[in-house]
Amino acid sequence: MIRIFVTGGTFDKTYDQISGRLVFGDTHLPEMLNLGRSRVEVSIRTLMMVDSLDMADGDRELIVRHCRQCEESRIVITHGTDTMVETARALAAGVADKTIVLTGAMVPYAFGSSDGLFNLGSALSFAQTLPWGVYIAMNGQHFAWDRVRKNKSTGIFEALTDET
Amino acid sequence: MIRIFVTGGTFDKTYDQISGRLVFGDTHLPEMLNLGRSRVEVSIRTLMMVDSLDMADGDRELIVRHCRQCEESRIVITHGTDTMVETARALAAGVADKTIVLTGAMVPYAFGSSDGLFNLGSALSFAQTLPWGVYIAMNGQHFAWDRVRKNKSTGIFEALTDET
Amino acid sequence: MIRIFVTGGTFDKTYDQISGRLVFGDTHLPEMLNLGRSRVEVSIRTLMMVDSLDMADGDRELIVRHCRQCEESRIVITHGTDTMVETARALAAGVADKTIVLTGAMVPYAFGSSDGLFNLGSALSFAQTLPWGVYIAMNGQHFAWDRVRKNKSTGIFEALTDET
Amino acid sequence: MIRIFVTGGTFDKTYDQISGRLVFGDTHLPEMLNLGRSRVEVSIRTLMMVDSLDMADGDRELIVRHCRQCEESRIVITHGTDTMVETARALAAGVADKTIVLTGAMVPYAFGSSDGLFNLGSALSFAQTLPWGVYIAMNGQHFAWDRVRKNKSTGIFEALTDET
């Protein structure tokens, strides 16, 4: 059984046709798992629906607490990409003996050109196979929480090397 | 570096608007990896483009030979679902010391409702993390080649238990 | 009020993931009108769900009878493209004082690359504005029933000229 | 031959994955006409790429001038929905003896759930059949420029009656 915590981010943004803006509604996770014909046993819980740039310390504490307290030892978190690494760091400091995989999307799932479904398949798979630790799964790759950064100009997650 | 071998299957079927039939054209793999913003280093080679029900022994021998001879030790194979388990068995008998993950789709990628992108993200991730062996990755799950069967009436891959 | 008669055709084919074949299920018309945010008052009735190559004389008589007897004087018919012209001819012989527009699709609506939504918007608009007569609306164009043929090798509907 | 003038609006907005915002890039018109297998002879010109709330008097004068001066007597204009009626009024005052149809979308074409393709098929069809005048084509319907308003709370274009 894998626990999925939803926190918002680009992944779950949708287009509001009255205001003409990107907004949060309900999470697309169940629809996406259905599209992927996923048979992985999951339990989904929405913790918040925020842009990760708007995520406050209290939000991160809430995420850490839920990851620590939930029964499941394998966890996927959907999260905005901008501060994903920061939340991963908080999780590494606060949760032991679990495999936690953060993922997100560069383009909202509701857009035809979204990477969301690919990333979800990837994150769920890494969560089943990686040893205890906190990871980021993006671009088909996985990175330990302290070995990665988001390149703000390309939008790509890059491995940190010792020289970096 | 992951080697991807394309063999056809539902995954890569496309609609021919003149004949009104589902046919094979070029593989959608590069387009799908692009959509998923994949940064995994891959080398793609199309071995055949067949419906897996039409796959002959010679086709399986070809797949085994390519998996044995290629430089890469981590391999993803896209394959029709109907005889995926049979090909997995041939690979287990013929290839040692490599991680080989077979995947496919229940609905062609070119359809809006395809599970293909989810499965590709999943298979690429399992291929990076599972120990040597031959696996099937479908429905977000992975199965050792000798512990799985496709349920023909539901289209779902199911784990074989000792009692089965 | 526009009457819409559904007869099947490529338009409404869907992919059956168990058999791996294109089959007919329920019509996609309500979903498509919803996607197009259509506010045209319509009344939809499925007369049959057949490939137009399988359409028999009795099927055409049924279509003609429904068009003649329905209250609405403006009608859209979704129809397979292969024998659309033949049905249009039967309608021209059997129905007077109504505007009837036949349309269809080269690619099933359920495919990402379908022309169905474009054609539906087009057919509904022609049905509101063209004078009494029987027309085919495809490729953004309209043709009188006796001035058009489907080019079997390109899939395009072409105007017949006097020299043809 | 139909002239298509592109002015921007929701229709052509796309998602910028670096900034996370909806922006204008190139118009999607050619791609959409291709998807619709349109065989209507068109000549496309982008006049501007703006949100219609940001459209200034000078922009409207430019649109009017292009419609008056172009050779074609049948014109489709893609336009943001918020001030579409205002531009229609300017066109009615400034252009005679042409059929001009304004259309747009409530959801960007690049989103899976867009009404854009339906509206484009509809607008092109109305442009071919309506008598000289300035019209708005939305929701599968057409309205004379002085008989319509956009309902801001529902996003739907509604006919004005004499009592309104």
**What is the percent of chain C where pLDDT is above 90?**
95
Distance of residue D127 Cα from the nearest chain A Cα, in angstroms = 26
CB contacts, 8 Å: D111 with chain A: 15, 110-112
Interchain contact C156–D (C-beta under 8 A): yes
Structure tokens at C162: 């006097």
Over residues A83-104, the mean pLDDT reads 98
A132 touches chain D (CB under 8 A): no
Is 90 exceeded by the pLDDT of residue D92? Answer: yes
Q: How confident is the model at residue B163 (pLDDT cuts 50, 70, 90)?
A: low
Minimal C-alpha gap between D152 and chain A (Å): 7
Q: Is-contact A143 A152, C-beta < 8 A? A: no
Share of chain B above pLDDT 70, in %: 98
Tens digits of per-residue pLDDT, C142-163? Answer: 999 999 999 999 999 999 987 5
| pLDDT tops 90 at residue A112 | no
The pLDDT value given to residue C163: 59
C-alpha pair distances (Å), B81 with each of B24, B54, B99, B102, B107:
16, 12, 19, 9, 10
Look over chain D and give the mean of its residue pLDDT values, rounded to a whole number. Answer: 96
Does pLDDT of B114 surpass 70? Answer: yes
Closest CB to A112: pick one of D112, D152, D153.
D112
Rounded to an integer, the average pLDDT of B22-31 is 96
Buried b / exposed e across D97-135, counting CB within 10 Å, b at 16+?
ebbbbbbbbbbbbbbbbbbbbbbbbbbbbbbbbbeebbb
User: Which chains share 3+ C-beta pairs under 8 angstroms with D?
Assistant: A, C
> What is the residue-averaged pLDDT of chain A?
96
Average pLDDT on A131-151 reads 97
Please tell me the distance from the alpha carbon of residue B99 to that of residue B1, in angstroms, as a whole number. 12
The predicted pLDDT at position A163 comes to 58
Query: Closest Cα of chain B to A58: distance in Å?
Result: 31
pLDDT of residue D112: 83
A15 and D CB contact within 8 Å: yes
Q: What is the mean pLDDT of residues B1-19?
A: 95
Q: What is the pTM of this model?
A: 0.95
Q: CB distance C122–D119 less than 8 Å?
A: no
Amino acid identity for residue D87 in this structure: T
Across the range A118-139, mean pLDDT stands at: 98
Mean pLDDT computed over every residue of chain C? 96
Tell me which chain B residues have a C-beta less than 8 angstroms from the C-beta of A40.
139-141
Is the pLDDT score of A164 beyond 60?
Answer: no
> D160: which DSSP letter?
P
How far does the CA of residue D74 sit from the closest CA of chain A (Å)? 29
Average pLDDT over residues C17-34: 95
D163 confidence band (pLDDT: 50, 70, 90): low
pLDDT score of B44: 98
Chain B residue at shortest CA distance from A31: B113
Q: How far apart are CA A120 and CA A70, in angstroms?
A: 21
* Residue appearing with tokens 């906190």: A134
**pLDDT band (50, 70, 90) for residue C112:** confident
Nearest to D22 among A22, A112, A152 (CB): A22
Select the residue of A115, A137, A138 nearest B35 (Cβ to Cβ). Answer: A115
pLDDT at A131: 98
CB contacts, 8 Å: C154 with chain B:
18
Touching chains, B (3+ CB pairs < 8 A):
A, C
Please tell me the distance from the alpha carbon of residue D43 to that of residue D38, in angstroms, as a whole number.
Answer: 13
What is the mean pLDDT of the segment spanning A142-147? 98
C residues 27-46 closer than 8 Å to B (CB): none
Sheet containing B2-8: give its strands across. B42-50, B2-8, B74-78, B99-103, B133-138, B141-144
Q: Is a pLDDT exceeding 70 seen at residue B8? A: yes
Q: Tell me the mean pLDDT in the region A71-99.
A: 98
Inter-chain residue contact A129 with B129, CB threshold 8 Å: yes
In this model, does residue C45 exceed pLDDT 70?
yes
- Closest chain B residue to the Cα of C51, Cα to Cα: B20
State yes or no: pLDDT of A17 exceeds 70.
Answer: yes
* Whole-number Å distance between alpha carbons of A82 and A106: 10
A36-57 mean pLDDT: 97
Closest-CA distance, D111 to chain A, in angstroms, reads 4
Q: Per-residue pLDDT for D162 more than 80? A: no
Supply the DSSP symbol for D152: T
Residue C51 has pLDDT above 80, yes or no: yes
The answer, yes or no, to whether residue D164 has pLDDT greater than 70, is no
Residue in B110, B153, B154 closest to C113 by CB: B110
Q: Pick the residue from chain B with its C-alpha nearest to A34.
A: B115
The predicted model gives D26-43 an average pLDDT of 97
Identify the closest residue of chain C to B13 by CA–CA distance: C20
Chain B residues touching A38 at Cβ < 8 A:
118, 139-140
State the average pLDDT over residues C101-119.
95
Interface A-B, measured as beta-carbon pairs within 8 A, has a size of: 114
- The CA dihedral of D9, A117, B10, B97, to the nearest 10 degrees, is 140
Residue A20 touches chain D, beta carbons under 8 Å? yes
Minimal Cα–Cα distance from B88 to chain A, Å?
19
